[in-house]
Structure 1
Amino acid sequence: MANMSNQIFNIQLNNKQNFECPENDSILEGGLRHGLAINYKCSNGTCGTCKAKLIEGEIEKIKHHDYSLSTNEIDNKEFLTCCHAPRADIKIELDLIGDVRSIPIQSIQTKIKDIRFINDDMAIVNLRTPRSQTLQFMAGQDVELSFKGVVSRYPIASCPCHGMELEFHIRNLNIDKFSQEIFSKKLKAKARVELVGPKGMFVLKETSTKPMVFIAWDGGFAPIRSLVEHAFSLEMTNPVYFYWAYPATEPSPYFDNYAQSWRAVMDEYHYQTIACDFDRSSKNDCHKVAKQIYDSLDHKVINQSELYISAPAEVLIYLGEFLLDNGLDESQLIASPI
């Protein structure tokens, strides 16, 4: 009977960061799974962007690549991380994305993999990029999606470790013409959607050791989900607090069970829903809603944490004022209007 074991090897990156990679996975897959911002585009050996240098240990080519390494690169022990797997503990040199500003804006023709309607006004849309042009982005960022000239901007709900499959949470709003294409069923599986991005600065402070507090208003859960799952993939041990504001007329937030499931994978995770007096019109009393959210927070935790908020701009302004007046330092506040 064949040996089905899959040995795990340790990879030391640039003499400081370590991650584990199974022998049957490419080094690129292992690094992305652990949340590393590795420079890559295609993940199939076409572009050469994911080149690394082997310093110590043994690797093996596990799939063909069309990209041709020069004689000098081969002599320098350079290789493509997307096409090689470890065969022992190894040390490599590899350039990582420095910060969000260094990621280029990309234009990609994607296809809709599937659309799942949670209820009458919320759709979970999954797009698939071509293998030759995977989206490079950081958790918390957003993109523009366009279909037959209709363009809207949405945050990515998935983690960067799943670059070929991108998830979006899209509300059925009259002012959002792209959403109307979805809920009228004109936009269906296999349809082509142009993606332009990534954009935005709503990203994780990966080196911070402070507790992390996340606050989402309704569909603001999408970028929060991306950030939380990225933190988990990085194996960050910071305590996580998540507050989710939703309309009091509804029984619970639309992905309540999903948010609760994080308790199973994080040692210190605290989740609280906040039923608020708002609907999804543009006529909400944003000051009142911001005060409802503010009054529900544990302020002792808030003032010693990194605070990430995804909410409408007016709610952000009022909530930010409450928090700063209560002693929160402005450097601790990371916000994204939706």
Structure 2
Amino acid sequence: MNLKIHTKSRAYELQTEDRTSLLLAGLSEGLDLPYACATGTCGTCKAKLISGNVTDNWANAPGKAKLNADAGEVLLCQCSALADGEFEILVPDFVYRTDPGTILPRRLNGVVTSWRTLVSDVALWEVELSEVCEFNSGQFALISFSGVDGYRAYSMVDFDRSTRKLTFLTKKTPEGKLTNALFSENPVGRTVQVVAPLGRAIFSPGLKKNILCIAGGSGIAGIMSILARATQEGYFEQYKGYVFFGVRTMQDAFFLEELSAFKLASDKGLEIVIGLSAVAATDEDKAQYPSLSFDFGMIHEIAAKHMEGKYKNVQVYLAGPAPSVEASIRQLVITAKLDPKLIAYDKFS
């Protein structure tokens, strides 16, 4: 099927397959289309359908609240070509081709090979892929479980440039049908479909800047991948790293041993602060993790206090619940007066 994409910069023509989302069709051909969550929740990938018929894969996608349906607006991530023919869409943005060497997303098959609960509502799990997957630290994948409609976005926790095994972190939420099912029944052995890699909150050693990472809860997943890459490359021997990880209590905290290992490997180049918003850390807690620092309060406020006077030559990575990310952005832009272009994050909700 022929797909023509009109943009503010130029028009592009490409071929797409049945059941492939219009977003994936463009991204896999090297078009840097606008998107954020890629799952239908944010509305960033809205476009206008000029001609042709499409299948809407999620009728109740929250991102549709930002669409003008009467004007023919659709979500690229939720629509796919319906049948053979010509399709035309209008993307109200400048769209260019990605740089040479960019890792383009593709669809892969996989099987869940492990599932381990870290705390009561957070689990670490692995997927064995049918083919090798390449990705950059800080990126995410879309996962679709057999028997469950739609895709969910999960950041890769570790970093391996070329691998057949991806590791993810999942937080159980009261309203989450999929997460409740995963936590109630061990998903090991279940088949999945993976679309990867996606995301623009990418870290590369060529950045040549100090890095500031602020994460809440399971948002630490992508930050762990960034820290893994930076540690492998000895990045903190030359540049500073500041990591602020927020949870409610010590009972909700995880990855503290792994974070301690990153700190020890990087010595004075890396500072890691665990922020507790409900109950402060005890002396026993601090003694158990002597290489980490602890503070009490909301994580964006803790980060602001510790980062005062340290924003020179810094790149920021944010992750976590939307209210936490938005609070961090406001503090960084309004109070710290940081250029928004220096703040990277992927919006999952």
Q: Classify the TM-score, shorter chain.
A: 0.5 to 0.7
Q: CA deviation at 1:120?
A: 2.2
1:208 match: 207
Q: CA deviation at 1:99?
A: 5.2
Give, in whole Å, the separation in 2 of the partners of 1:138 and 1:293: 28
Q: CA deviation at 1:228?
A: 1.2
Q: CA deviation at 1:123?
A: 0.9
SS at match of 2:153: strand
Residue identity matched to 1:122: V
After superposition, the C-alpha distances for 1:8-43 in whole angstroms (9 at most, x for unaligned) are: xxxxxxxxxxxxxxxxxxxxxxxxxxxxxxxxxxxx
- Given the alignment of the two structures, is residue 316 of structure 1 paired with residue 325 of structure 2, yes or no? yes
- Given the alignment of the two structures, is residue 301 of structure 1 paired with residue 310 of structure 2, yes or no? yes
**Of the candidates 126, 131, 134, which is equivalent to residue 132 of structure 2?**
134
Give, in whole Å, the separation in 1 of the partners of 2:170 and 2:162: 19
Give, in whole Å, the separation in 2 of the partners of 1:245 and 1:296: 14
Q: Supply the RMSD in Å over aligned alpha carbons.
A: 2.5
Aligned counterparts, 1:99-248, within 5 A: 102-130=102-130, 133-147=131-145, 148-150=147-149, 151-161=151-161, 163-185=163-185, 187-236=186-235, 237-247=238-248
Change in CA separation of 1:291 and 1:100 when aligned onto 2, cut-off 3 Å: farther
Q: CA deviation at 1:252?
A: 5.8
Give, in whole Å, the separation in 2 of the partners of 1:323 and 1:107: 36
Does the CA contact (< 8 Å) of 2:277 and 2:298 recur in 1? Answer: yes
After superposition, the C-alpha distances for 1:79-115 in whole angstroms (9 at most, x for unaligned) are: xxxxxxxxxxxxxxxxxxx859932221111111111
Q: CA deviation at 1:308?
A: 1.1
2:4 match: none
Change in CA separation of 1:277 and 1:119 when aligned onto 2, cut-off 3 Å: closer
Residue identity matched to 1:140: G
TM-score (norm 2): 0.59
Give, in whole Å, the separation in 2 of the partners of 1:99 and 1:120: 42
Does the CA contact (< 8 Å) of 2:137 and 2:202 recur in 1? Answer: yes
1:257 match: 257
Give, in whole Å, the separation in 2 of the partners of 1:252 and 1:189: 24
1:332 match: 342
Change in CA separation of 1:289 and 1:198 when aligned onto 2, cut-off 3 Å: same
Q: List runs of 5+ in structure 2 lacking aligned partners.
A: 1-97, 280-296
Does the CA contact (< 8 Å) of 1:245 and 1:293 recur in 2? Answer: no
Give, in whole Å, the separation in 2 of the partners of 1:158 and 1:135: 13
Moved over 6 A (4+): none
The share of aligned pairs that are identical, in percent, is 17
Q: CA deviation at 1:209?
A: 2.3
Does the CA contact (< 8 Å) of 2:143 and 2:194 recur in 1? Answer: yes
Give, in whole Å, the separation in 2 of the partners of 1:214 and 1:337: 15
Give, in whole Å, the separation in 2 of the partners of 1:137 and 1:320: 26
Does the CA contact (< 8 Å) of 1:146 and 1:178 recur in 2? Answer: no
Q: CA deviation at 1:295?
A: 3.9
1:55 match: none
Give, in whole Å, the separation in 1 of the partners of 2:327 and 2:119: 30
After superposition, the C-alpha distances for 1:19-78 in whole angstroms (9 at most, x for unaligned) are: xxxxxxxxxxxxxxxxxxxxxxxxxxxxxxxxxxxxxxxxxxxxxxxxxxxxxxxxxxxx
After superposition, the C-alpha distances for 1:283-315 in whole angstroms (9 at most, x for unaligned) are: xxxxx9465344443222234321111122332
Does the CA contact (< 8 Å) of 1:217 and 1:245 recur in 2? Answer: yes
SS at match of 1:103: coil
Residue identity matched to 1:329: D
Q: List runs of 5+ in structure 1 lacking aligned partners.
A: 1-97, 279-287
Give, in whole Å, the separation in 1 of the partners of 2:318 and 2:127: 25
Does the CA contact (< 8 Å) of 2:244 and 2:303 recur in 1? Answer: no
